[in-house]
A and B are shown apart, each in its own frame.
Chain A
Amino acid sequence: MTAPADADAGLPEPVPSRVGVSRPAPLGDSLQPYLPLSTEETENLRGQHAGFASRFIAFIVDCVVSIGVFMLVLGAASFAASVLTGSSIHWSRANTWVVVAFFAWEFLYYAYFWTASGKTPGMVLLGVQVVGQDGSSVGTKRGLLRTLAFPLSFLLLGLGFLGILLGRDRRALHDVIADTAVVYCWDAREARLRSLAREGSSRQP
């Protein structure tokens, strides 16, 4: 992918397409490694801007983890109350305190992980990481700003996320506000070698 128009405009030369289209394994060829990425594709993956699917799946994982932990805490609190006082607490979504506690918990969850390491548990699983736009670590200020701006991308009917799909550097609205970017941080080359090694070891007697 080249962009003469961009080059003319003095913008940095865009890097070639990061990864190619997955090559389907030939039918009946069980020796194809399962990793859909080819050698060239895995070479320079680390540090490239992460795409929509990786980020979205990471977000879903984070939702499951954070909501799961929140519900566990509520359940534990209810259990403790029933043991101590003999009367159980019935939590309801209509309860203002539950809603406030939920949003506070979500804020803490994202703020802590983004400021501490730039990676939430979902992001660790998917091998993506939040960094500063210049590649530096996120830091407390940018991490907090990103967490505060995160809901804005939802509140604008999800339009805040369009930048991930349409932008050259795949940044959502909250990335632009906090001057951050999300990049791949996993070693795809090593993963590919592991895949080939497994395949080779399973073939040897």
Chain B
Amino acid sequence: MIDLVVESLDLNALIAQIDLNAVLARVDLNEVVDRMDLNEVVAHIDLDEVVARVDMNKLLARVDINQIVSRIDVETLVKNTDLGAIMVSSSSTLATEAVDQGRSHAVSMDDTLARWVSRIRRNHTGRAEPPELPNTPEEP
């Protein structure tokens, strides 16, 4: 009897009449997701195969490396990682430390003097454009 009823039904026509949006609106997707065991779902996925399908060159071509690098706080990185220790052991000596300190204090004094002079003269004319240094080797 049931078979006869099912056979007589046009399921395609019936489904076409259903407003799926309205049905989905009534579904609590959060509850559905909560019931899912995502670990089990992930366990079924062959990640190697997924990764193998990815065209890394194409992917990297779309990545703006410069933008990523510019977002890195180099100072924090150096301060908080082993990178700092490597830098210290490779480039820094007590003499370097003293020279760095002396130079930076001298620059601060330069600026302080310039500010005093500027205040005395009450003239904030600023500084001239620095000269271009095309072939000047950089001091360490």
Residues of A within 8 A of B (CB): 1-3, 5-6, 12-22, 34-37, 39, 41, 45-54, 57, 124-127, 129, 131-137, 165-170, 181, 183-188, 190-201, 204
Is B121 a contact partner of A127 (Cβ separation < 8 A)?
no
Is B102 a contact partner of A46 (Cβ separation < 8 A)?
no
CB-defined contacts of B87 to chain A, threshold 8 Å: 193-194, 197
Given contacts A2-B126, A52-B114, A191-B104, 17 further A-B contacts (CB under 8 A): A14-B126, A14-B129, A17-B127, A37-B107, A48-B127, A51-B113, A54-B107, A131-B136, A132-B131, A133-B131, A135-B130, A135-B134, A170-B127, A195-B97, A196-B79, A197-B79, A200-B84
Q: Residue of B at shortest CB range from A16? A: B126
Mask: chain B, 129-140; 1 = CB below 8 Å from A; 0 = not: 111111110111
Q: Enumerate B71-86 residues with CB–CB distance to A below 8 Å.
A: 74-75, 78-85
Shortest Cβ distance from residue B56 to the other chain A in the assembled complex, whole angstroms: 31
Q: Which of B13-21, B39-47, B88-96 contacts A (4 or more CB under 8 A)?
A: B88-96
Within the complex, which residue of B104, B112, B134 is in contact with A21, where a contact is CB–CB below 8 Å? Answer: B112
Is A165 a contact partner of B108 (Cβ separation < 8 A)?
no
CB-defined contacts of A192 to chain B, threshold 8 Å: 75
CB-defined contacts of B134 to chain A, threshold 8 Å: 135-136
Is A51 a contact partner of B133 (Cβ separation < 8 A)?
no
Within the complex, which residue of A19, A34, A134, A169 is in contact with B107, where a contact is CB–CB below 8 Å? Answer: A19
Q: Enumerate B88-124 residues with CB–CB distance to A below 8 Å.
A: 88, 91-92, 96-97, 99-115, 117-118, 121, 124
CB-defined contacts of B106 to chain A, threshold 8 Å: 51, 53-54, 57, 126
CB-defined contacts of A126 to chain B, threshold 8 Å: 102-103, 106
Q: Residue of B at shortest CB range from A169? A: B128
Is B128 a contact partner of A46 (Cβ separation < 8 A)?
no
Query: What total of A-B pairs shows CB separation below 8 Å?
Result: 200
**What number of B residues sit within 8 Å (CB to CB) of A?**
52
Is B113 a contact partner of A47 (Cβ separation < 8 A)?
no
Is B79 a contact partner of A46 (Cβ separation < 8 A)?
no
- Using known A-B contacts A34-B101, A197-B92, A198-B92, determine if residue A51 contacts B131 with beta carbons closer than 8 Å: no
CA–CA, A3 to B127, complex, Å?
10
Shortest Cβ distance from residue A56 to the other chain B in the assembled complex, whole angstroms: 9
Is A185 a contact partner of B138 (Cβ separation < 8 A)?
yes
CA–CA, A166 to B113, complex, Å?
10
CA–CA, A133 to B43, complex, Å?
69
CB-defined contacts of B57 to chain A, threshold 8 Å: none
CB-defined contacts of A45 to chain B, threshold 8 Å: 107
Shortest Cβ distance from residue A19 to the other chain B in the assembled complex, whole angstroms: 4
Asked whether any CB of chain A lies closer than 8 Å to the CB of B125, the reply is yes
Within the complex, which residue of B96, B111, B126, B133 is in contact with A135, where a contact is CB–CB below 8 Å? Answer: B133
Is A46 a contact partner of B138 (Cβ separation < 8 A)?
yes
Is A125 a contact partner of B99 (Cβ separation < 8 A)?
yes
Is A17 a contact partner of B111 (Cβ separation < 8 A)?
yes
